[in-house]
Amino acid sequence: MKLITRDTDYALRALCFIAKKNGKIVAVPELVRELKIPRPFLRKILQSLHKHGVLSAYKGAGGGFKLAKPAKRIFLFDLLAIYQQDWHLNECLFKKMLCPNVRKCALKKKIDKIERFVKKELSLISIASLIG
């Protein structure tokens, strides 16, 4: 079981790298060289970060990406939301109602508590706090 998938991990690394550049535009070739992430995969990831308003994109020669907002306002939670859409820990148990209600409800409450904690913690981890 992975809390953080490869997409999210790569996105995190790229964002940390870009954040350190202090607003300078960074292009894919440099990121590939530095981070050793497969080029086409990285491009896909950066494109989605752009679509979701995390990065600003600049086309054409000399183009690239920079952060679209301050590093302290980009959170791990946001990335999870992009790459591991609307994840919730208690998936199985809700969708199919096979289990007797008592157990379902007892378990649901406990799992929900865990989920709330995890989400809260992930909302506190910003790019800024990682490069600090």
Which range binds DNA by CB under 7 A, 22-30, 74-82, 111-119, 120-128?
Answer: 22-30
Contacts of 27 (CB under 8 A, 6+ apart): 63, 64, 65
Beta carbon nearer to a copy of itself, 57 or 119: 119
* 103 is a contact residue toward DNA (CB under 7 A): no
* 54 is a contact residue toward DNA (CB under 7 A): no
Closest CA to 7 of 92, 81, 114: 81
3-class SS of residue 126: strand
Q: Tell me which of DNA, a copy of itself, none is bound by residue 103, counting a contact when its beta carbon lies within the kind-specific cut-off of 5 to 8 angstroms.
A: a copy of itself
Q: Tell me which of DNA, a copy of itself, none is bound by residue 46, counting a contact when its beta carbon lies within the kind-specific cut-off of 5 to 8 angstroms.
A: DNA
Distance CA 29, CA 15 (A): 15
Distance CA 38, CA 47 (A): 14
* 98 is a contact residue toward DNA (CB under 7 A): no
Q: Tell me which of a copy of itself, DNA, none is bound by residue 39, counting a contact when its beta carbon lies within the kind-specific cut-off of 5 to 8 angstroms.
A: DNA
* 59 is a contact residue toward DNA (CB under 7 A): yes
Place of tokens 């183009």: 63
Question: What residues between 31 and 70 interact with a copy of itself by CB under 8 A?
Answer: 35-36
Closest CA to 63 of 22, 18, 24: 24
Whole-number CA gyration radius for the chain: 18
Q: Tell me which of a copy of itself, DNA, none is bound by residue 63, counting a contact when its beta carbon lies within the kind-specific cut-off of 5 to 8 angstroms.
A: DNA
